[in-house]
Amino acid sequence: MIVTEGLTKRFNGTLAVDGLTLEVREGEVFGFLGPNGAGKTTTVRMLSCLIAPTAGTAWVNGYQVGREDGAIRRSVGILTEAPGLYERLSAEMNLSLYARLYEVKDVAGQVEKYLRLLGLWEQRHQPTAEFSKGMKQKLAIARALIHEPRVLFLDEPTAALDPEAARIVRDFIEEMRVEGRTIFLCTHNLDEADRLCDRIAVFKQRLIQVDTPQNLRQRLYGRKVAFRLKAVTPALVACVQALPFAREVQADGNQLIIGLNDPENQNPQVVRALVEAGGDVQYVGELRHSLEEVYFKLLGEP
């Protein structure tokens, strides 16, 4: 759906994006994470043909950036950092204007569909100058979708939103995924990325790592399981250490934290060994590193 090869953007002296090579698959929600100034927005602007790359190439929806920009613009939706609406026009007018620009067939129908979906139908006649930040954001999302694009670029879609509005937008992204659209999502909200994204790229001028959130965790930290016992005794520690597959055994209060590569098959063996050694197992649960920990580790920051 989106393929980039050595995509590069230089602004005068600044190298904003340096040789980005990646592939975003059809129907996936792809998270693009990185600190302020990492070059995320610049990447989105190149992929949606708003600015030209300095070097490298990219294909979006099968069309090549720089060669078939018109076709790309028609087939993608973009939510930019600043909504940029026509403030004196009503919400309805804003949307129908874009719907006509995109040559949408059923303009009135599409406008109504998205105003209702985003909860703006009652306010449709109000000039957008009178809208709150969140309402503007929702209208900008509606605008990005009005022509039913197959690929959607969302640059920090929930940044300005209250928790409820952010949730509406997140649910919306889920729905877009169910409909098989491809979503390229820039966000600073790591929990959001963790929940929504099939795969995540950590990026800072260059691509640092791409994988599923789960694989990123495992690759960096391995899997660890906590076994809570009535009491941890030296004998229990020793019996677990004797298991050939236990990578690492740590006692923490009344828990044993054990590094395991295959908890599904190894947990029962650990429990059996503990019980045989006289341990009372109260609880078994896998530890989960937050995506925030993964993110900072990948960026090499504390």
Ligand X SMILES: Nc1ncnc2c1ncn2[C@@H]1O[C@H](COP(=O)(O)OP(=O)(O)OP(=O)(O)O)[C@@H](O)[C@H]1O
With both helix axes pointing from N to C terminus, report the angle between 91-101 and 133-145 in degrees, rounded to the nearest 10: 20
Question: Among Mg ion, ligand X, none, what binds residue 42 when CB lies within 5 to 8 Å by partner kind?
Answer: ligand X
Instruction: Determine the interface stretch with Mg ion among 5-13, 37-45, 54-62, 118-126 (rule: CB under 5 A).
Output: 37-45
Question: Among Mg ion, ligand X, none, what binds residue 37 when CB lies within 5 to 8 Å by partner kind?
Answer: ligand X
CB of 36 to Mg ion, least distance (A): 7
Record the tokens describing residue 140, joined without a space. Answer: 């900008």
3-state SS class at 185? strand
Instruction: Determine the interface stretch with ligand X among 9-17, 71-79, 87-95, 215-223 (rule: CB under 6 A).
Output: 9-17
How far apart (Å, rounded) are the C-alpha atoms in residues 193 and 170? Answer: 10
- Cβ closest to ligand X, residue 10 vs residue 100: 10
Instruction: Determine the interface stretch with ligand X among 31-39, 65-73, 141-149, 216-224 (rule: CB under 6 A).
Output: 31-39
Contact yes or no for 43/31 (Cβ under 8 A): no
Instruction: Determine the interface stretch with ligand X among 19-27, 38-46, 231-239, 249-257 (rule: CB under 6 A).
Output: 38-46
Contact yes or no for 230/64 (Cβ under 8 A): no
Handedness of CA 68, 70, 75, 76 (dihedral sign): positive
- Cβ closest to ligand X, residue 200 vs residue 256: 200
How far apart (Å, rounded) are the C-alpha atoms in residues 184 and 201? Answer: 10
- Cβ closest to ligand X, residue 42 vs residue 182: 42
- Cβ closest to ligand X, residue 153 vs residue 172: 153
Asked if 34 interacts with ligand X (CB under 6 A), we say: yes
Helices (H) and strands (E) in the chain, counts: 11, 14
Record the tokens describing residue 227, joined without a space. Answer: 């076994």
Half-sphere exposure of 165 (CA within 13 A, CB side): 18
> Looking at residue 127, what DSSP letter applies?
B
Q: Pick one of 8, 41, 96, 187: the residue that binds Mg ion (CB under 5 A).
A: 41
Q: What is the dihedral of CA 43, 84, 141, 191, to 10 degrees?
A: 60
- Cβ closest to ligand X, residue 40 vs residue 138: 40
- Cβ closest to ligand X, residue 36 vs residue 244: 36
| # of chain residues touching ligand X (CB under 6 A) | 11
Asked if 16 interacts with ligand X (CB under 6 A), we say: yes
Q: Which residues bind ligand X (CB under 6 A)?
A: 11, 14, 16, 34, 36-42
Q: Which residues bind Mg ion (CB under 5 A)?
A: 40-41
